Structure 1
């Protein structure tokens, strides 16, 4: 009885969309939580909104897809932490566009929207502990490993090394840090180790994320088979 009352109360916390909403949780399998700027921590559900400043975390075996208001998407893999540093999009003000993210751990696939395409390519960036990813209108994958990628494989079945792994499905990306910059086209793979410049990687040694066809369990195999569950959003102490 108490659990039912809590769920009813928590369901009432979900608010209608606000002007500063960045994205909506469009698909979810498992656990997705958010720490907001005021320190509040919530469990998110389908149709929950996320905003600039939110720190998102997926649980083990959990996948979440975020649909952004500019048409872009981010699909988060298990044990991933992503911060939305800034996100601004107004249809009639392209000069104010911003989409700045931080991938702190784990992996994701990004399908970019209008931000970074219609006015200024520098309006989009994905920062990681070893390098920053810029876009040229694209669909790419990123995986940051720090002794926690035993469940992933390279195209030859090896455990990925510590550092940032990228691959491009469509378009191109530019990966940069203080030691250098490297451009990657569709079908190419890259790697940035600790204290190293971005490097091209042969396809045989690449880690497929955006281009995955089964080696690393594409999110669609999970998000397409969601289990029935209670859909609620709840603030946690």
Structure 2
């Protein structure tokens, strides 16, 4: 049975992604900053007949928490087939380029970038033991430098200084990570779940968590012929998903 870790999987898109991967036959480690919330999420999944899930306390901003999560999972399996770096925060509003404080930037980067680096580096040894490992960094088409520079893009006026900057930085990390692993079987991609109606955006999104879960799960299950080092938004590009950086 293939095994996967999803950070921030106790609710919303992360939870739905876990549900879909469980239905595909994966064993899913439900990473949750609050163990209590993680356990509640697992109980909800088991109530649906999805038994192969386990809660793991994992705060991506806390190096000790990440280390303990690695030890916990490593004590139960010799390998990990996929990692979905889903945990993220929006940083609150407004996000003016001239008025957002350094502390606001630091908080968002701590989760959305540094947290991904911590978790990826901590679990890379288990991932390397898989025959076809996948890493999915959950990103956003709203951090595309190309799109945000294009006045004809439908979200051109939706500017925010903090959150998109953190995801643009995450995209650069994804490119570097894919390059570093280019001579291995790894598939490493940045994937946008779409503009989804969740508490993350006060339910202003137009997509569903089911659509988002499908998009993310797809890139966690890539085979040897799948893409790597790509920025994917199937909402932006329904045909190939490939999105300009």
**Greater helix proportion:** 2
Determine if the TM-score, normalized by the shorter chain, exceeds 0.5.
no
- TM-score when normalising by structure 1: 0.29
**Greater strand proportion:** 1
- TM-score when normalising by structure 2: 0.28
**Larger-gyration structure (1/2):** 1
